[in-house]
Every structure is written in C-alpha cells, then in structure tokens.
Amino acid sequence: MNKTFYHIPVLLNEVLMNLNLKEDSIIVDATCGEGGHAEGILKMIPHGKLICLDRNQEILQKARERLSAFSNVSFCRVSFINIGEVVKEENVKPDGILADLGISMYHYQAVNKGFSYMDSDSLDMRLDSDLEISASMVINSFGEKKIADILFKYGEEYESRKIANAIVRARPINSARELADLILKVKKNKKRSKIHPATKTFQALRIFVNKELENLESFIPVAVDNLKENGRLLIISYHSLEDRLVKHTFRRLSEEGKGFVYTKKPIIPDEEEIKNNRSARSARMRIFVKTV
C-alpha cells in the first residue's frame, strides 16, 4: 500500500464547526482511524488536548505518523466502548467526542481481510485480529437459518434465505470473491441496482463479526456520561441501522434528562464533497449536547 495515501475525512468542516472548538478544548476522537479528523481538530486546539482511540494497531500507527508534528495528542489502542476507562485514566472531562463509524480505506486495501469483493485470498472481515469470529467461520460453519437471520438483521437483505441456502450448498467458500460471485448468481435476474448485489451480505457479515451495533449501543450512553457539561457528542453513521440506533438512543437520553438532541435532522455532505469523495455519499451526522 502507498504509505502517502490517507483516508479522506468525511464532513470535516461540519465536524470542526460543530465541536465548538476553543484553543484549550479537550477532545476525544473515539474512532481515530488514519487521523483525518484528528489533524483538523489539532490545528484548532493548540493549547488543548486530543485523545485518539482505535482498536487496530496498524491504523493507529498511521495516525501517529500523520500527527507526529503535534505534541498535544495521545493514542490508545482500544475500542471506543472503552472510552470511560480512557478518560478516567487521562483524568479529563472532554468538551467533545467524535465517532466516525465508517470503515477506513485501509481495510479495503489490506491484504487477507476480505472487505473487497475482489479479494481472492481471504474472507476475514475482522477490524481487529484479536476478535474470535471471522466471516469465514460464519459462512462455513454456521447453520443455514443462522446465516439467513444474520443477513436479514444486519444487512436488511430480503433475499437472505436464498443466499443462505446457496452458501450452504456451495461450502466451503474461501474468499470474498467466491462469496460475491455466488451472490451474483443468486441475484442474476434482478433489476440492476446502484449498489453491488453482494453489498448487503458483506455489510451484514462485517457488522456481525465486529459486533458493531452492540458496541455502538454501549458506547453512546458512556460517552455522554463522560462529557463535560455542555459537551457535545458527534456521531457519523453510514447506513440506516446505525443511524436509526443513534437517533433513538439520543432521543432516549434526552427523555432521561441527560441533554438534548442538537440536530433535528442529520447533517449530510453537500454535492461538492460527494463529488470529491464518493465514500461520503451515505454519511449522516447527529449531535447530542450534554446538559447535566
């Protein structure tokens, strides 16, 4: 991989504006990735502090390299669900917390990960190699009904039963390309779509393997609890399952008196950003302000 390439941060200007940054702000980038948002934040908080979290060691190292010119940043190799422990150890109350739920281009380009439909070497999909279950284990060892349930619940794939049946019949399936080709055959007579026929299946497997929705549900209330009064939590999501969870959890926290939902409607990229960065097209940012 070209080491000079970095993932382009989504909604960067909107993030910087809505974090309400001051020169001495304390911010947590809970999903630092390659440090795109972090770099923009650090330029605006010369007397503040930024704490960067990411559970992938290789990506966190890329962020360290990108942000090496800054002295007011620290790095923790942990999942964002551990944010409470991190801020306690750092002995801070953040003014703002950012979580960008998108998958870094690093994962799509990494060898033997299976995030790309063209990957002929692996069917892994783990964002962290320490996780126990891989996509290959799901596809090659789970029962047909369980696979169908995963595809429907986490991918909203309405042909989940057909796909699951085809998977079980074709096993073993050893690569992402094999799986994508199989799904193409199942959906060969369907009307052309703007998305690849395997998109929903791959999304479902990735979400299940990495426990993305469960982790997000755990993260949000802990993040809000650890914010300073009037602090802001910004979450960028990329599909309806995530956005729905964020929306409903923010509403519940508001009803519990923890604060208020700052965004009546999600903030979305403008046409210019989408033109320059196609991965931004489905981004939705919601903001919660803590008041107690």
Write out pLDDT tens, residues 194-253.
788 999 999 999 999 999 999 999 999 999 999 999 999 999 999 999 999 999 999 999
Domain with CATH 1.10.150.170 in the chain: 110-210
Fold of 110-210: DNA polymerase; domain 1 (1.10.150)
Mean pLDDT of 12-20: 97
Domain with CATH 3.40.50.150 in the chain: 12-106+214-290
Entry pTM = 0.92
Residue 1: band (very low, low, confident or very high) from pLDDT cuts 50, 70, 90: very low
Identify whether the C-beta of residue 34 lies closer than 8 Å to the C-beta of residue 102. Answer: no
Task: Give all strands (DSSP E) within 25-133, no chain letters.
Answer: 26-29, 49-53, 73-76, 96-100
Mean pLDDT of 125-135: 88
| C-beta atoms surrounding 214 within 10 Å | 13
Name the phi and psi angles at 279, rounded to 5: -70, -10
Pairwise CA distance, residues 38 & 256, whole Å: 31
Q: Has residue 112 got a pLDDT over 90?
A: no
- Inter-axis angle of helices 160-170 and 144-155, to 10 degrees? 140
Ranges 26-30, 107-111, 176-180: which has the least confidence: 107-111
* Close Cβ partners of 24 (under 8 Å, ≥ 6 residues apart): 45, 47, 48
User: Residue 114's pLDDT is what?
Assistant: 56
| C-beta atoms surrounding 89 within 10 Å | 11
Class of domain 12-106+214-290: alpha beta
